[in-house]
Amino acid sequence: MPTLNVKIKHAGKVYDDLPLNTDAPPAFFRQAVSEKTSVPLDRMKIMVKGGVLKDDSDWNKVAPKDGQTFMVIGAPGDLPKPPSKPIVFLEDMDDSELAQALALPVGMNNLGNTCYMNATLQVMRAVPELQSALGTYTPSSSTGDGNSALTRALRDMYAGLRTTAGAFTPMGFLSALRQAVPQFGELARVGKSGTGGYAQQDAEECWTQIFNALKAVPGNEQDGIAARKKFIDQYMMGEMRREMRCDEAPEEEPTVSFESILKIECNIGKDTNFMHSGILDALNQKIEKTSSSLGRTAVYTQRSRLSRIPANLTVHMVRFAWKRDIGKKAKIMRKVKFPLEFDALDLCTDELKQKLLPVNARLKEIVRERAERRKVRKRTKSAGPSRTEPNTDVEMVDARAPTAGGPSSPVLIQAPVPAGAEPLTADAAAASSDKGKGKGVSGAALEPENVYRARELAELQALVPADVHEDVGASETGLYELVGIVTHKGAAADSGHYIGFVKKSALQPVKIDDEDLEGGTAALDEDDEDWYKFDDEKVSVFPKDKLDTLGGGGEDASAYVLLYRSKPIA
């Protein structure tokens, strides 16, 4: 047969006038096709009548014709190279390999019953102001509050955590802690008269002692004005107003006192099921004292309320109580539910509550509106880019987000306004919100998230009272989110095991509206609500859905110290 001019079709592209010499073996034609399409011979298939053209095929049986089109199958280019290291799945990794693969924070080695200290230090990392304040701390030769040696050790320890790849050994800080607070250097008793290694200590006492040692750390300035308070007084200390009235002599003048507090207590009684009720039980107490008007011991009602709430609010679950019958502390196992978001206005004085109520209520609405916008953007992103022409008319869509215990909150989403046109006022937008009911919301109708955030910030700043804004480190909203937990596992106070839990967003920046941070900094998605679990040197991701298991109810890990951070208005 003569030489034919044929066509080949590969990946939708047709190649014309390719010579096919029927006197030569098919291998020559296959080589020509490979050079034309860049498909390697070992993965190229040329489809002919009855199957695939092979190097030893018979042209008489194939019976090619002049101008015939052959279909070619195969991917061009070289095959991908195998990985330099074998693939290891997450479920096959150990804790250290998981930490490296997931870019987990660094854990701390246990130096002999030091889990109480490790868990406490990890949760304290969720206080960002502490890290910045330690960075500017300079020890002073003058005597004063706090402990400069322990403060320096804490600063150096956190610096080491930031530069260590593996588990960190906090030997320097442990030595400074035991020197500053000798009780943390006590030895465990073995038998009737013997002693063993170092004894287990209380994480809540460790929390209190460390923060008390930081009283000399300077505070942050406000609007260029030097700080009048120390860091602890700004960001960690609240002020409690205590009013005491005599139940047996109502005419007796009540006594009022004020006290600075580092934490609030949550009493756990036989009927306590929720943290909120346990705190109120601790704030409203009956005590006996001598009455000046009656001249004898009488019953008084003490009502305590917060007249200042700090940006970082510590809640102490009072899980250890002294048992007279056994002569030592015992753990209260009862399950107590704690909220992930906490409204502290019920714990405030009436005066402070009235100041914060407007910004508190508006921030709740804004949080719901932000969640609704995220849903709209996710739906739009998953549906792909819109092919419709942009609409220049202003149309408001009422996207309602019902909330438990409250009315639904409308989220008004405005389409782009034509150049030179007057945007709708808030009243006009609300009046027209019913017009868009039942219609889908297009992501193109949303403005960039930073535009909304700027408007929300201006609105909330206008609602914050001037004296509250000037009080650096005080909560401006009364709304808190849980960012850290220290848990205790076991049945006794002088034994067991402590573990720290920190919300991921408290340690890593959060990405807003899918915008990457400058410098390639790794950022979390705004919907990432998972946590880190710090079990000494072992660090793992702890799902948000499992936080309810830390409420207690047995010898397993029970929430003991909780750190709440005030929701910012930005």
Q: Which helix (H) or strand (E) holds 488?
A: strand 479-489
Q: Among candidates 417, 381, 422, 374, which has minimal Cα distance to 399? A: 374
Output the CA torsion 515→521→526→531 (10° steps). Answer: 170
The HSE-up count of residue 434 (CA atoms within 13 Å, CB side) is 1
Q: Are strands 510-511 and 320-323 parallel, antiparallel or unpaired?
A: unpaired
Q: How far is residue 456's CA from residue 500's CA, in Å, rounded to a whole number?
A: 34
Residue by residue, what is the 3-state secondary structure of 17-86?
A: EEEEECCCCHHHHHHHHHHHHCCCHHHCEEEECCEECCCCCCHHHHCCCCCCEEEEECCCCCCCCCCCCC
Indicate if the alpha-carbon torsion angle 34, 40, 41, 47 is positive or negative.
negative
Q: How far is residue 528's CA from residue 115's CA, in Å, rounded to a whole number?
A: 27
Question: Would you name the residues annotated as active-site residues?
Answer: 115, 497
Q: Among candidates 397, 518, 513, 399, which has minimal Cα distance to 449? A: 513
Query: How many residues are recorded in the chain?
Result: 570
**How crowded is residue 411: how many other Cβ atoms within 10 Å of its Cβ?**
23
Under DSSP, the state recorded for 518 is: G
Q: How far is residue 243's CA from residue 305's CA, in Å, rounded to a whole number?
A: 9
Cβ-contact 476, 356 below 8 angstroms: yes
Output the CA torsion 96→99→101→102 (10° steps). Answer: 160
Cβ-contact 412, 433 below 8 angstroms: yes
Q: How far is residue 395's CA from residue 428's CA, in Å, rounded to a whole number?
A: 11
Task: Quote the crossing angle between the two packed helices 115-124 and 203-213, to the nearest 10°.
Answer: 50
Q: How far is residue 230's CA from residue 219's CA, in Å, rounded to a whole number?
A: 4
**How crowded is residue 129: how many other Cβ atoms within 10 Å of its Cβ?**
18
Q: Which residues contact 37 (CB under 8 A, 6 or more apart)?
A: 8, 10, 11, 15, 44, 72, 74, 76
Q: What are phi and psi of 401, to 5 degrees?
A: -115, 95
Cβ-contact 195, 185 below 8 angstroms: no
